Chains A and B, each alone.
Chain A
Amino acid sequence: MISNSIIEQASYEIMKQAAIDIPDDYLNGIKSVAEKESEELSGFVIKTMVSNYEAASGDRRPMCADTGLPRYYVKVGDKAKFDGGFTGIERAMRSATARATRDVPLRPNRVHPLWRTEHNNNVGINSPEVEWSFEPDADWIDITTVHKGGLFGTDYRMLFPGDGVDGIKRFLLDTLISFGKRGLCCQPAIIGVGIGGSKDTCMQLGKQAACLRIVGDRNPDSGIADLELELMDIANGIGMGPMGFVGSSMAVDLHIEVGHTHTGGMPVSVHTFCLSSRRATARINGDGSIEYRTDPRWFTPYHRRETVQWEGA
């Protein structure tokens, strides 16, 4: 039986880990981008970022003071047994958010959108967001937190089937050029592209593609995997590096997620997961033990299921 207090403890710990320790996949990705960067200013920025990650881990302080909007993605195994129902899990995660905000500290970014009032703890109406997913034949609960910053670097557009891949490329270029200038989106980033679904799903898919897949991961559909690499080359061929300086480092990786969509449309969203690509995952096993990792493993075969019946992986 998984108790609420274990959920609270794990959620608190991943909040802390996410804010402080850059995931290895991103760090290695940024180092390999740096090797290809031949421009002095862009190279200096990346080198400085790498020392910043080291300072954060060494001093146990947040890598970026804008600790973003902390939120959760929860995947519950069909066989998981837990106390307090689903609302018990949500309550525990809300309390962990408040505690981590005070202790790490995280910046209490969350304010009421109109009155700008706050509780100074990153908890409020509809926040932190909790997204749920399920997994067959499992008795564990995976909790992932993502601290995505950035007022900049995300956009949505309704394209049409006739726009084709050209339309996607055009939109990607538009988004990266507009938000890449002066480095507003804190590139080099992990870029997520959502294609299809309803408009809101399209945004969600792109966001999850950016935040919940690790550097080097490819979409299982080989056609989409090829498009990921092609779009990444386009991003890095803009001629822009970190801070909008001349350079070749825009994308550390690019992930695409798709959803079946309306026959008349092709909605597309683009998201950039910034230089402080913060995510951490806890797996709470059926016996209450906790294991920590940085790969959310969110997009399981079941999660991407495509027909009425899902026939095991």
Chain B
Amino acid sequence: MLDEMSIELPVTPEAIAKLELGSVVYLNGIVYTAREGVYDKILVKGDQLPAGLTRSSNVNFHCSPAAAPVENGGYHIGGVTATASFRFSKYLSEWLDLTNTKIIIGKGGMPVDDYKNILAPRGAVYLTTVGYGTGALLGRGVEAVEAVHWLDELGIAQAMWMFRVKDFGPFLVDSDLQGNSLFAQQGELVNKKIEGLYDGLKKPALHRYGETDDRKDELM
């Protein structure tokens, strides 16, 4: 059985230190969504963070919810699914410094070098969603929309949503404070078998330019 634990947010350094690769995590408290739209706005255009963000949440979810406004003025959150995180590498060191974020949640993890050079030195870890299509389970964990920022300007997918969550998960711990990565470890195990899969298959008639042909490489 995999280890399971529940974490209260904002997360403390002690709780982070206890996380081990491959453990299953559920969250309680406030998480915010931010992806390229928000990162560009704050880090490139130089706009201000919403007041109080750094006090209420230190968990950045790479996500675009299926959300729709309802008549009494709130929002109906249907499913909640993460988006692939590797695309956001270039923003992260500045973002973590600015917001003091300690947990990144997303889809598929980030390159192990980012864990070693960006997350771990700042006391931050990465949790991955499971599957990844667990939109309904994660949607269940969202109790309320505390606030939404820049909805008109950035649209539903890119806006910053503040979710109050309860038993929000499951997530798997992908990185720890040493900068190790579960994905990288699993990938190495898978790679051991890959050469052999091509044994006996003849070479293609036409080769291609510009792409890796080392199948141990990741494409991100």
Contact = CB atoms under 8 A, between A and B. Distances in A.
Contact of A62 (B136, B157, B197): B136
Interface residues of A, number: 65
Contact of B187 (A49, A162, A170, A182): A182
A245 B137 CA distance: 21
A30 B108 CA distance: 21
Contacts of B194: 177, 238-239
Most buried by B among A52, A55, A166, A274: A52
Interface string A194-236: 0000000000000000000000000000000000000000100
Contacts of A149: 133
A59 B141 CA distance: 12
B79 interface: yes
Interface in A43-100: 44-45, 48-49, 51-53, 55-56, 59, 61-67
B131 interface: yes
A152 B194 CA distance: 20
A62 B78 contact: yes
A244 interface: yes
Contacts of B215: 174, 177-178
Interface in B197-215: 197-198, 201-202, 204-206, 215
Most buried by A among B79, B156, B190: B79
Contact of B136 (A59, A169, A238, A246): A59
Contacts of A160: 205-206
A73 to B, nearest CB: 22
Contacts of A166: 201-202
A159 interface: yes
Interface stretch (A5-13, A102-110, A123-131): A102-110
A296 interface: no
A178 B219 contact: yes
A23 interface: no
Nearest to A158: B206
Given A118-B155, A120-B155, A65 B80 contact: yes
Nearest to A182: B108
A27 interface: no
B132 interface: yes
A242 interface: yes
Contact of A59 (B108, B140, B198): B140
Nearest to A242: B131
Contacts of A152: 84
B179 interface: no
A80 B167 CA distance: 51
A192 interface: no
Contacts of A106: 66
B134 interface: yes
B109 A182 contact: yes
Contact of B78 (A48, A104, A244): A104
Nearest to B155: A118
A8 B70 CA distance: 23
A-B residue pairs, 10 tightest by C-beta: A65-B79, A64-B133, A56-B136, A65-B81, A105-B68, A62-B79, A65-B135, A276-B133, A55-B136, A64-B135
Given A48-B134, A61-B78, A65-B138, 18 more contacts: A49-B130, A53-B136, A56-B136, A61-B79, A62-B79, A62-B139, A65-B139, A66-B135, A109-B157, A120-B155, A158-B206, A159-B206, A166-B202, A173-B197, A177-B197, A182-B183, A238-B190, A276-B135
